[in-house]
């Protein structure tokens, strides 16, 4: 028995988190065992690397090279500790970002040598490749609007409801500053170009979805693309 590995890609605010939740509910309602993951992250080691990459107060002068290596270190751990065993157990894995984000952000965005980026990705993942990649595309202006919307929603939700139980979180919470959101517009334009190049290079694996449509329409499109690969 072999599982199914589906990745969700695209710039911030494209609706990856939203659509992963909806897709997981849909697949679970069909009796599938679904595992949702995020990159960087998904194991205790990888979540610490995530914190270092995104939120840590000491990350201000991180070099592009260190960023590339840390992304792949997080990934190497996730692939061997979680993804490969889950695939062998026949589970359906939905992953929020995977190696295409490294090609787009560290390769195109940070302008690191694309051959070196590809070599490091190959080393990090070995034979593990997504069966399907859903690229949620929105223009930069909508990406920025939705990031603001998400920050507003998060701010409204910080006050814990009365009577709620506190529990030890499994992961670092994504609160406060994110180093990636500090990049300039030219960076995000290069990232967008990177995602376009990836979808053109691998049209069978990578499916582009117009994510400016409503949440329901995007979900319908996703279900249409996943249905043919369900066994
Ligand atoms: N299709 C959509 N139309 C309008 N708003 C959306 C849509 N998809 C997501 N959003 C909203 O945009 C914000 C960012 O969505 P999110 O799923 O967190 O994106 P991502 O995980 O790709 O960064 C959230 O406030 C979400 O409710
Ligand atoms: Mg998200």
Q: 121-179 pLDDT, tens per residue?
A: 999 999 999 999 999 999 999 999 998 888 888 888 765 444 433 333 334 457 678 99
Query: What CA–CA distance (Å, rounded) separates 21 from 94?
Result: 9
Residue to substitute in 7, 11, 12, 13 for testing ligand 1 pocket (most ligand atoms within 8 angstroms of CB) = 13
The 8 Å CB, 24+ separation contacts for 176-183 are 176/55, 177/55, 178/54, 178/55, 179/53, 179/54, 179/55, 179/59, 179/60, 179/62, 180/12, 180/54, 180/105, 181/12, 181/147, 183/109
Residue to substitute in 146, 149, 210 for testing ligand 1 pocket (most ligand atoms within 8 angstroms of CB) = 146
- Beta-carbon contacts of 167 under 8 Å, excluding residues fewer than 6 positions away, are none
| Contact (Cβ atoms closer than 8 angstroms) between residue 134 and residue 9 | yes
Residue ranges making up the domain that contains 41: 4-154+172-229
Atom of ligand 1 nearest to the CA of 18: 17
DSSP state of 166: P
Residue to substitute in 10, 18, 214 for testing ligand 1 pocket (most ligand atoms within 8 angstroms of CB) = 18
Which residue's CA is the closest to the ligand 1 atom numbered 14?
13
| Contact (Cβ atoms closer than 8 angstroms) between residue 123 and residue 72 | yes
- The binding-site residues of ligand 1, defined as CB within 6 angstroms of any ligand atom, are 12-18, 146, 149-150, 153, 211, 214-215, 218
CA 6 – ligand 1 centroid, Å: 19
Residue 124 lies in a domain: yes
* CATH code for the domain in which residue 50 is found: 3.40.50.300
Residue 166 lies in a domain: no
Atom of ligand 1 nearest to the CA of 212: 1
Name residue, tokens 């061997």: 80
Specify the number of domains making up the chain: 1
CA 23 – ligand 1 centroid, Å: 14
Report the half-sphere exposure of 225 (CA within 13 A, side-chain side): 23
Residue 197 lies in a domain: yes
Answering whether pTM is above 0.85, one says: yes
Query: What CA–CA distance (Å, rounded) separates 41 from 51?
Result: 9
Taking only the tens of pLDDT, the chain with its 231 residues reads 579 999 999 999 999 999 999 999 999 999 999 999 999 999 999 999 999 999 999 999 999 999 999 999 999 999 999 999 999 999 999 999 999 999 999 999 999 999 999 999 999 999 999 999 999 999 999 999 998 888 888 888 765 444 433 333 334 457 678 999 888 999 999 999 999 999 999 999 999 999 999 999 999 999 999 999 997
Q: Which helix (H) or strand (E) holds 96?
A: strand 92-96
CA 158 – ligand 1 centroid, Å: 19
Residue 113 lies in a domain: yes
CA 18 – ligand 1 centroid, Å: 6
- Token representation of residue 175: 């609160």
How many degrees, rounded to 5, is the angle at CA 23 between CA 25 and CA 128?
A: 120
Residue 162 lies in a domain: no
CA 109 – ligand 1 centroid, Å: 22
Which residue's CA is the closest to the ligand 1 atom numbered 12?
146
| Contact (Cβ atoms closer than 8 angstroms) between residue 193 and residue 139 | no
Residue 43 lies in a domain: yes
Burial 22-56 (b: 16+ CB within 10 A, else e): bbbeebeeeeeebbbbbbbbbbeebbbbbbbbbbe
Bridge partners of 133, per DSSP, are 7, 206
Residue 95 lies in a domain: yes
């Amino acid at each position: 028995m072999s599982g199914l590995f589906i990745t969700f890609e695209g710039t911030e605010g494209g609706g990856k988190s939203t659509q992963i939740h909806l897709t997981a509910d849909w697949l679970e309602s069909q009796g599938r065992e679904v595992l949702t993951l995020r990159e960087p992250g998904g194991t205790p080691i990888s979540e610490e690397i995530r914190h270092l990459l995104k939120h840590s107060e000491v990350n201000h002068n991180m070099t592009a090279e260190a960023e590339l290596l840390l992304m792949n270190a997080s990934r190497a751990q996730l692939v061997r500790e979680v993804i490969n065993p889950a695939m062998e157990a026949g589970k359906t894995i939905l992953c929020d970002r995977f190696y295409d984000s490294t090609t787009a952000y560290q390769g195109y965005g940070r302008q690191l040598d694309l051959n070196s980026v590809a070599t490091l990705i190959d080393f990090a993942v070995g034979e593990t490749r997504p069966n399907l990649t859903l690229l949620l595309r929105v223009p930069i202006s909508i990406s920025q609007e939705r990031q603001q919307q998400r920050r507003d929603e998060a701010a409204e939700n910080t006050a814990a409801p009365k009577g709620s139980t506190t529990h030890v979180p499994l992961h670092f919470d994504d609160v406060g500053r994110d180093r990636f959101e500090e990049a300039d517009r030219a960076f995000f334009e290069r990232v967008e170009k990177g995602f376009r190049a990836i979808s053109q290079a691998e049209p069978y694996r990578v499916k582009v979805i117009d994510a400016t449509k409503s949440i329901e329409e995007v979900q319908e499109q996703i279900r249409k693309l996943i249905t043919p690969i369900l066994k």
